[in-house]
Amino acid sequence: MEDRLTEIVPSRGRKGDLIPILQRIQAEFGYLPEEAIVKVAESTGVAESRVFGVASFYAQFRFTPMGRNRVMVCRGTACHVKGAPRILEEIEKVLKIKEGETTKDLEYTLESVACIGCCGLAPCIMVNKEVHGRLTTKEISDIFTTRGECDAG
Amino acid sequence: MPDKTVLVCQGTGCVSAGAEQIHISLEREIAELGLGGDVQVKRTGCHGFCQQGPLAVVEPEGIFCTRVKVEDTPDIAQSLLSQKKPPERLFYRDPLTGKVIPHYRDITFYSRQQRTVLKNCGYIDPEEIDDYLAVGGYEALRKTLLEMSPEQVIDTVKRSGLRGLGGGGFPTGRKWESCRRASQESRVESRESGRKTLGSGLQTPDSYVVCNADEGDPGAFQDRSVLEGDPHSVLEGMIIAGYAVGARVGYIYVRAEYPLAVKRLEIAIAQAREKGFLGKNILGNDFDFDIEIFQGAGAFVCGESTALVLSLEGKRGMPKPLPRPRTTQVGLWDKPTLLNNVKTFASIRWIITRGADWFAGRGTKKSKGTAIFSLTGKTANCGLIEVPMGISLREIVFDIGGGIPGGKAFKAVQTGGPSGGCLPAELLDTPVDFDSLTDAGAMMGSGGMVVVDEDTCMVDLARYFLDFTQKESCGQCSLCVLGTLQMLNILNSITCGRGRPEDIDLLIELGEAIKMGSICGLGQTAPNPVLTTVRYFREEYEAHIYERKCPARVCKDLISYRILPDKCKACMICLRGCPVEAITGGKKQIHMIDQDKCTRCGVCLDVCPERFSAVECIPGRLDNTLHSA
């Protein structure tokens, strides 16, 4: 990890670069490890507490590792009125985890997000970079079972 | 030149439904039929009618193919070979009349719109600058740099009457003027202080242009569509703004959740630099300007100008306390900063090329030009629309949106997202402009327009928005962060069936206090969804509180499911499907729901075969004794 961090974090970063640096770290590791925060603080000259303060302010950053697949349930208004709460409930049931949690085998992390901007396809979810739109609760188990088989094969 | 062009939409909605594969397959099919020279297959940005995607349009006829699948591409290619129309199954079918409409110009969703900012979205390849140049791109920049002084540019924008399309509606020309003045003063200052600290060698820009593309409003996606479909129009507007206010550096603050928009912006910036529209001595003039992309890290409050600026500086995006100088005076790195929305910048090129009078000639007296909305929710047609200011809500919902499908009744239209309000059927004739919407208790906002029908509970919708703003409050103002939490608690208890008669007045009192006691737009508008629903749908709140009923059958604690004995065929499907074993009965024995065990998950209603339709959801709670009687 140390090596990769050295690669991502410039030795003398500008203060204004804090957020882009944190974004690069998260893109690499999937979360912000503690070592990274320390390293960024050294590089930018911003106190560790401040770096953490910035990171914890923004919804994008996370401090725990994430599952291999990221499931984002859109909670935008259009999705909400078209049944997003029931979609979320159904996914929770299928994956046996609650919103914000990761499955024990680190396969899935389930999150709800403000809006993924596919309101015309409401209700929708995003699995990694793939959007599934116009969903019904019946289709949920298909998405995750076929995926499981694909992964196994 | 090819005779025909097939435009394959590559907006996020269509891409998610497989548009990329359709593009590849269509190209292959056309090449196989030897049509490569006559037919061009082109990737475009969003056509706006996302709900019908993936979309493909055959030009010049304007034939509109909807819900295209890879399997349909041989038929489309064949139709091009035989000079016939593509198969009818691909055409748009009017959801109310069932009529098949092959040309997009005949579809009311399009025919009632007035597309200006969105004109090229869906017609040009957003990743090819030559496409943009072919439709007159960067002509406005050329005209600006060769024929106009910065003052003339500002004067033109002022006369056009353009108002900030990010929601605030502040006159754009006045903002530019004040930024130019501040920028000139700052230059004089820095020259003076530069003399004192001569030799430091450090030169920082005197002012900045920032494009706000932090589209955080859930239910709105128009900024994303413009960035994805016509990124150069935004760049061109920003460069012109840089010339007008005297800035040399521009930033686009875009949501990291929009990866496709980021990618297309990166491509567009690189191409613009290559062609000399960005960089040093633009078009041979003594004017330098360049643009960088900054990806927002997911904080709704960063749509507020001072918070956005702090976020750009790598800090927590918390709005500056009052009294605060305007961002045009003290903005990024304490320099004058011009901050405008995506659509505002995208409108500039039209104002420059067609003139202020042309722009001011449309719309209403105080709101000029067009408004862009993401029309979503329970309308037959959903998607991105651009309409002249002053059009009525009724025309948007029923003509463009095609009304409410499934014979349901219209209940409300929500504009302005979490900062806006819900307007009822009585206000459908309200003209859509900045002031009329604000007067009605809603707002133009960033352009989300969500239509809801009888199946949406207004208390739940208000709770939904408040839950959003409560979580997004930055935490500085106690009334905002704690007041919204109290309001949310009250709404939660109402939707759970524990509402008290005094709760409605308490909500109003708290709401008014939060509006007064918050320093930024987030807190000042957060109570709007609650206040407008109380104002226009008070009876729904009262039904929850006094009758313990959710009339829209949404709030779980205030509804019941029951099996209609005369319709139940005792097929055991719901009995087996019930996750909590609340259904009793057996083969040839009518089923019944044990109301004490039932968690009201709705599975029984979902699984009951449509030909029986024996399960019913009703407002209010049943108890077992009543039910069996």
Q: Which domains, from first to last, does chain A contain?
A: 2-57 (no CATH), 69-152 (3.40.30.10)
Lowest mean pLDDT: which of B75-84, B155-164, B332-341, B552-561? B75-84
Instruction: Say yes or no for a CB contact (<8 Å) between A119 and B12.
Output: no
Segment B143-150 mean pLDDT: 96
Structure tokens at B368: 């000029």
Q: Which of B383, B257, B113 is nearest to A120 (CA)?
A: B383
Beta strands in chain A (DSSP E): 69-74, 108-113, 125-127, 130-132
Question: Taking CB atoms and an 8 Å limit, are A19 and B219 in contact across chains?
Answer: no
Question: Looking at the complex, does the CB of residue A1 fall below 8 Å from at least one CB of chain B?
Answer: no
List of chain B residues whose C-beta atoms are within 8 Å of the C-beta of residue A133: 13, 16-17
How many angstroms separate the CA of residue A132 from the nearest CA in chain B?
Answer: 7
pLDDT of residue B196: 46
Q: Residues B49-85, buried b or exposed e (16+ Cβ, 10 A)? A: bbbbbbbbbbeeeebbbbebeeebbbbbbbbbeeeeb
Phi, psi for A145 (deg, rounded to 5) = -75, -45
Share of chain B above pLDDT 90, in %: 76
Q: Residue A41: enclosing H or E segment and its boundaries?
A: helix A34-44
Q: How much is the pLDDT for B90?
A: 93
pLDDT winner (highest mean) among B86-95, B232-241, B418-427, B598-607 = B232-241
Of A93, A116, A120, which is closest to B383 when you measure between CB atoms? A120
The per-residue pLDDT for range B498-544, each reduced to its tens digit, is 999 999 999 999 999 999 999 999 999 999 999 999 999 999 999 99
B406-423 pLDDT tens trace: 889 999 999 988 889 999
pLDDT band at A150; cut points 50, 70, 90: very low
Residue B423 to residues A31, B165, B436, Cα–Cα distance (Å): 42, 21, 12
Residue A115 has pLDDT above 80, yes or no: no
- List the one residue out of B250, B311, B259, B312 whose CA is nearest residue B282: B250
CA distance B606 to chain A (A): 9
Compute the average pLDDT of residues B177-205.
Answer: 71
Predicted confidence (pLDDT) at residue A73 exceeds the cutoff of 60? yes
Residue to mutate among A26, A43, A77, with most B CBs inside 10 A, is A77
| Neighboring chain B residues of A114 at a CB cutoff of 8 Å | 216, 218, 298, 300, 468
In angstroms, the CA B415 to CA B375 distance is 10
Q: What is the mean pLDDT of residues B153-162?
A: 96
**Averaging pLDDT over each range in A59-73, B97-111, B292-306, B499-513, which range is the top one?**
B499-513
Residue B254 pairs in a beta bridge with B213, B295
pLDDT value for A137: 85
pLDDT for B200 beyond 50: no
With contacts defined as CB-CB under 8 Å, which chain A residues touch B259? 129
Do B314 and A132 make contact, defined as CB atoms within 8 angstroms? no
Residue B169 · residue B434 · CB < 8 Å: yes
Q: Which residues of B touch A89 (CB under 8 A)?
A: 601
- ipTM > 0.90 (yes/no): no
- Chains A and B: how many Cβ contacts under 8 Å? 142
The identity of residue B420, as a single letter, is: G
At B50 the pLDDT is 85
CA-closest candidate to residue B300, choices A80, A57, A72 = A57
Q: Once rounded to an integer, what is the mean pLDDT over residues A72-96?
A: 89
Q: What is the pLDDT of residue A146?
A: 59
The per-residue b/e assignment along B315-341, b for 16 or more CB within 10 angstroms, e otherwise, is bbbbbbeeeeebbbbbbbeebbbbbbb
- B452-474: per-residue pLDDT in tens? 999 999 999 999 999 999 999 99
Among A126-135, B304-313, B316-325, which is the least confidently predicted range? Answer: A126-135
Rounded to the nearest angstrom, the minimum Cα separation between A74 and chain B is: 9
| Residues B280, B247: Cα–Cα separation, whole Å | 13
Distance (Å, whole) CA B235 – CA B237:
5
- Say if residue A151's pLDDT is above 50: no
- A137–B contact, CB cutoff 8 A: yes
Confidence of residue B339 (pLDDT cuts 50, 70, 90): very high
Q: Provide the chain B residues 436-455 that lie in CB contact (below 8 A) with chain A.
A: 448, 450, 452
Computed over every residue of chain B, the mean pLDDT equals: 91
Residue B174: strand, helix, or coil: helix
In this structure, is the dihedral angle defined by the CA atoms of residues A116, A120, A121 and A122, taken in order, positive or negative? Answer: positive
What residue in A sits closest to B381 (Cα-Cα)? A120
Instruction: Say which DSSP state B287 is in.
Output: -
In this prediction, residue A44 has a pLDDT band, given cuts at 50, 70 and 90, of confident
Does the CB of B298 have a partner CB in chain A at under 8 Å?
yes
Model confidence band, residue B201 (pLDDT cutoffs 50, 70, 90): very low
The confidence score (pLDDT) of residue A136 equals 87
Beta carbons of B382 and A75 less than 8 Å apart: no
Record: contact B382-A131, CB cut-off 8 A:
no
Mean per-residue pLDDT of chain A: 85
- 3 state SS of B388: strand
| Residue B534: DSSP 8-state | H
Answer yes or no: is pLDDT of A86 > 70: yes
Residues 30-69 of B with CB under 8 A from A: 49-51, 53
pLDDT over threshold 90, residue A22: yes
Assign B423 to helix, strand or coil.
strand
A119 contacts chain B (CB < 8 A): yes
Q: Is the pLDDT of residue B202 over 60?
A: no
From chain B, the residues in CB contact with A132 under 8 A are: 16
Q: What value does the mean pLDDT take over residues B229-257?
A: 95
Probe site for chain B from A60, A62, A81, A82 (most B CB atoms < 10 A): A81
Q: Helix or strand or coil: residue B15?
A: helix
Query: CB–CB of A81 and B456 under 8 A?
Result: yes
pLDDT by residue (tens digit) across B262-276?
999 999 999 999 999
Q: Which domains does chain B have, with CATH numbers?
A: 4-109 (3.40.30.10), 130-191+204-360 (3.40.50.11540), 370-453 (3.10.20.600), 458-546 (1.20.1440.230), 559-628 (3.30.70.20)
Of the candidates B523, B622, B607, the one whose C-alpha atom is nearest the C-alpha of residue B572 is B607
The kind and range of the H/E element at B293 are strand B290-296
Q: Which residue from A minimizes the CA distance to B293?
A: A20
Percent of chain B with pLDDT over 70: 97
Range A31-45 average pLDDT: 91
A131, closest residue in chain B (CA to CA): B16
B304 close contact with A: CB closer than 8 A: no
In Å, how far is A117's CA from the nearest CA of chain B?
5
Residue B204's pLDDT is 66
Which residues contact residue B543 at a Cβ distance below 8 angstroms, ignoring those fewer than 6 apart? B549, B550, B551, B619
d(CA B521, CA B317): 14
Contacts of B579 in chain A (CB under 8 A): 93
Q: Residue B627 is which amino acid?
A: H
> How many other CB atoms are found less than 10 A from the CB of residue B177?
20
